[in-house]
Amino acid sequence: MAKARPSHPRPLMLRLLTAPARAQLTGGQTNMANIEYDPQKQLFHLHNDTFSYIIQVIRGYLVKRYCGPALERFSGTAKLEDFSHAFNIQNDAAPFSLTTLPLEYSTLMGGDYRTPAYAVRNGHGQLIGNLKFHDFQILAGNKNFNGTLPTARTPHGQTLVITMHDETDTLAVNLKYTIVGDLPVLLKQVAYHNLSDDTLTITHAASLQLDFDDHAYDLITLTGAHLSEASVTRQPLTPGKKSIASNYGASGPQGVPATILAAPATDNFAGEALGMALLWSGNFSYTAQVDQFGNSRLVMGLNPELFSWQLKPGEPFVTPEAAVAYTTNGLNDLSHIFHRFFADHVMPLPRKNLIEYNTWESTYFDVSEAKVRAEIPKAEALGVELIVIDDGWFKNRPNDAGQLGDWVPDPVKFPRGLRPIADALHERGLAFGLWVESEMITENSELYAEHPDWAMQYVGQKPLRSRNQLILDLSQRIVQDHLIKVLTDLVRTNHIDYLKWDYNRHFSQPGSPVLPPDQQGEVGYRYTRGLYRVLKTLRDTFPDLLIENCSSGGGRLDGGMLAYTDQTWTSDFTDPVYRMKIMNGFSLFFPLKTFVSHFTMSPNLQDSRVTPLQTRALLSLVGVTGIECPPSQLSDAEAAAVKASFAFYKANRTELQNGSLYRLHPSHPNQDQVCWLITNEAKTKALVLTSAGVVSPIPHYQHVLLHYLNPEVSYQINDKATATGAELNYAGITLPLAHGDFSATLMTLRVVSHLPQTTALPDGDIGELRF
């Protein structure tokens, strides 16, 4: 017997979707710029000048028909499989098989045995069945289903929202699709609504599902560990499943919530590639599967391992937003698309990120007003624009066993508080920054003494500490409100220009003392959503505040944190050569302005490697530069090199922070040698930066093709030779010979004429920039 409709009001999103402006299934064709609907074929075509994504309703099921270069029209010449297979569940519908259709959003045990995108149990504890098409609407802009989740800015785009119901009208699911401006980028997001009178339990909630009728792809992933982030792995899809996931509470250095499917021949310069990135900073997973028929599927979203959600009658649940990017022009072009997407549509509005001196490697926890003041004039003389006091500034913090949670200046180290330091810096035209680890608490803090129930915990179990600390339960709104007040007062009282937002341990015992037993699986999702609320409130309150993202380095570098932060401490590993490899991996998805790279000591404090002064100076220029070692302890040669590099950085900040980045080596991205081309938007200025490993006993010239310069103009190289962009692109340029192990070189190129000309030096030497 069909279940009667509940008497409670329909949820907000469903009311929105049934507004009079809804495009109807009957009537004429709806064409709203970049979203078209053909009612005869029940076909949706989302497109711009570069990209098309096509969905069709077939027997009520939502099927992906096409994802690729822009099409003017779609006739369906690539036929879907229309025959049954052995053990087909839906024999009454033959020839028809859900297990081979390229579906948009699938569940468990409904005839499709591949990795599910969703799983929801009803009041009987049984899985809700397949969803079928119910309605759709086309809206202006990108409609955010949840105001506390990160979302891409697309003011000039349009959004397609397709509503699906199960056969009992117990569950409604809204699938959101938005193409981002002129980019070949599609946003996906999902909202669940409980239409019944019972509580439903969500156990799987993916943000995207992509099905393909073959598996001729390589899966490219970023994995790693603390001090070794963003290691690139490339492997072909084979029958079975390959998964990357985090249950650490944050995205984690162990895996980045972004991946690429690339044709086997695709390299940096040519070939088809499809990239997916999640705008999320908590537990996640993505799975690439090749099924028994050779079809492939990729599902990305919340990690179901520790997740469940009690969906109350009339309430919504919203997944994180996901971005899908497409190219036929190789991995560099895919990266360029993602860089534009994150920089222009996700990250805070552009600003000048500052050259920083951070006290950590100078003093560790033993920081004080006197020590900071002693470094100010020396740092200023080098060209520093921002001085940041790192860990150790607050009371009872002599080491990492000290207090966390009481954000009050230490009365011994800073007897007059922080304001005198801020005032002294501002009088010199310098900015003032401060380190915080706001999400943490220690049991010896006053905050814990007052509110032990604010710590994440399992009731009745002994706390599991890491780095001597526990995690604040940001799933509680009262804890979020406390952090908002404390941080707002801290920034406002001390005239703080910059916060370094750190996060130095993973989840354990992810329980909340205020949630009932059946909602403990919601803690991770609620925590991350609470973190976003705190960060968004700070951004809204202090729009000029710079925020640096850090999680023991790049352990939470993801699309979610990029929505609220201006830059990221890419790794705690400050060895310049290895750090370039880390940034090379992250560059698959994230733009230059994301990366923070500082001049540091030699021998390096982490691996004791000795690197040349030139290498340390050059490789610190990438992204947002600065210095970690105390300016007062630099040798004359080091001080001169740092001062020269900072001056060069200021003259080329546009390119080094916001330029277009291209990887010039087509081979494996984890190799010791890294070679980058960085250009401005007009391609009138360019930099070629190389980082080498151990020198070969047999010297030989290395040549790289620059590929991306303007072929119709001439460039002057290091103020010496000139050559046409065409020659540099297609014949290449010779890199300077390495002068010992771990060398680095930098070449500058500037347009000098719009007429082809070449004035190479007699010996062919083009020189290199040295500090």
Residues annotated as catalytic (active site), given as ranges: 502, 572
Asked if 195 and 134 touch (Cβ cutoff 8 Å), the reply is no
What is the separation, in whole angstroms, between the first and last Cα of the chain? Answer: 81
* 3-state SS, one letter per residue, for 407-452: CCECCCCCCCCCHHHHHHHHHCCCEEEEEECCCEECCCCHHHHHCH
399: number of Cβ within 10 Å: 11
| The two three-digit tokens of residue 267, written as one number | 């390299």
Closest CA to 215 of 239, 234, 187: 239
Burial group, residue 507, by CB count within 10 angstroms (0-12, 13-18, 19+) = buried
CA angle 671–674–677, rounded 5-degree value? 145
Encode 588-622: b = buried (16+ Cβ within 10 Å), e = exposed. Answer: bbbbbbbbbbbbbbbebeeeeeebbbbbbbbbbbb
| The two three-digit tokens of residue 327, written as one number | 């190219």
330: number of Cβ within 10 Å: 24
Tokens 């993801």: give the residue.
558
d(CA 171, CA 617): 58
Q: What are phi and psi of 478, to 5 degrees?
A: -65, -35
d(CA 465, CA 72): 58
Tokens 């995108």: give the residue.
117
Asked if 105 and 117 touch (Cβ cutoff 8 Å), the reply is yes
d(CA 677, CA 656): 11
CA distances from 615 to 35, 148, 631 (A): 50, 42, 18
- The reply to whether omega before 95 is within 30° of 0 (cis) is yes
Cα 86 off chain centre by: 42
Q: What's the one-letter identity of residue 482?
A: H
* Secondary structure letter of residue 736 according to DSSP: P
d(CA 428, CA 380): 8
Can you tell me whether residue 628 is helix, strand or coil?
coil
Strands 386-389 and 356-358: parallel
d(CA 552, CA 487): 21
Can you tell me whether residue 192 is helix, strand or coil?
strand
| The two three-digit tokens of residue 167, written as one number | 């056969």
d(CA 323, CA 151): 10
Burial group, residue 161, by CB count within 10 angstroms (0-12, 13-18, 19+) = buried
Strand extents, DSSP E, 514-666 = 546-549, 567-569, 595-599, 624-627, 660-663
Strands 200-212 and 296-302: antiparallel
Can you tell me whether residue 183 is helix, strand or coil?
coil
d(CA 8, CA 363): 61
Asked if 406 and 469 touch (Cβ cutoff 8 Å), the reply is no
Q: 369-382 vs 419-427: helix axis angle to the nearest 10?
A: 20
Cα 153 off chain centre by: 15
Asked if 345 and 152 touch (Cβ cutoff 8 Å), the reply is yes
Can you tell me whether residue 390 is helix, strand or coil?
coil
